[in-house]
Structure 1
Amino acid sequence: MMSRIRLMAALSLLLMLLGCSKLTQENYAKLKMGLGYGEVVTILGKPDSCSEALFAKSCVWGDEQKNITVNFAGDRVVLFTSTNIR
């Protein structure tokens, strides 16, 4: 019985953590041109993927259905977009 309660508690905690996405309109509004990569990670957390070419980096938080994409040049934000962020 006790292990079942612990399992339910662990599952509830996991569901709450998954529901606490940083992909929100409020966090998107905090993004500004010129922010450093570290500042963006502080706002959005670790990106799900990044690609680099020369002095440019493009990072994506989220997936194809819901995401924030931030482009950096010289470690500074130069462009950011979102898809289905509410």
Structure 2
Amino acid sequence: MSLRYFAVLSCCVLLAACSKVNQDNYSKLKSGMTKPEVEQLLGAPSECAGALGLTSCTWGDEKSFVSVQFAGDKVVMFSGKGLK
């Protein structure tokens, strides 16, 4: 049982270390990128909300995240917090 627990714990740590929400990927964001280009860089967003052609999507969690605002399908603004 302890070997299985150790294996699961190791996988979780490795997955957390492979997060695409980091300073390197944040620095690659540019105004005018399309939503599919941002998703290729950061993966699927944690959440998105929008109205009237404007959408705001967030990647990450409360401690470390990237927030991107889209007009239509293009990036107009972005910000990040807690990135390493």
The equivalent of 2:54 in structure 1 is 56
- Which structure's CA Rg is the greater one? 1
Q: Deviations over 1:2-40 (max 9, x none)?
A: x54344223212221122111111000110011100010
- Normalising by structure 2, we get a TM-score of 0.88
Unaligned 5+ residue runs, structure 2? none
The equivalent of 1:16 in structure 2 is 14
Letter in 1 for 2:8: A
Q: Distance in 1 between matches of 2:67 and 2:42?
A: 11
The equivalent of 1:83 in structure 2 is 81
Q: Distance in 2 between matches of 1:48 and 1:10?
A: 23
Q: Distance in 1 between matches of 2:3 and 2:63?
A: 34
Question: How do 1:58-73 residues align onto structure 2 when only pairs under 5 Å count?
Answer: 58-73=56-71
The equivalent of 2:36 in structure 1 is 38
- 1:64 Cα deviation from its structure 2 partner: 2.6
Number of residues paired by the alignment?
84
Letter in 2 for 1:70: V
- 1:66 Cα deviation from its structure 2 partner: 1.6
Pair 70,13 (structure 1): closer, same or farther in 2 beyond 3 Å: same
- 1:68 Cα deviation from its structure 2 partner: 0.5
The sequence identity of aligned pairs, in percent, is 44
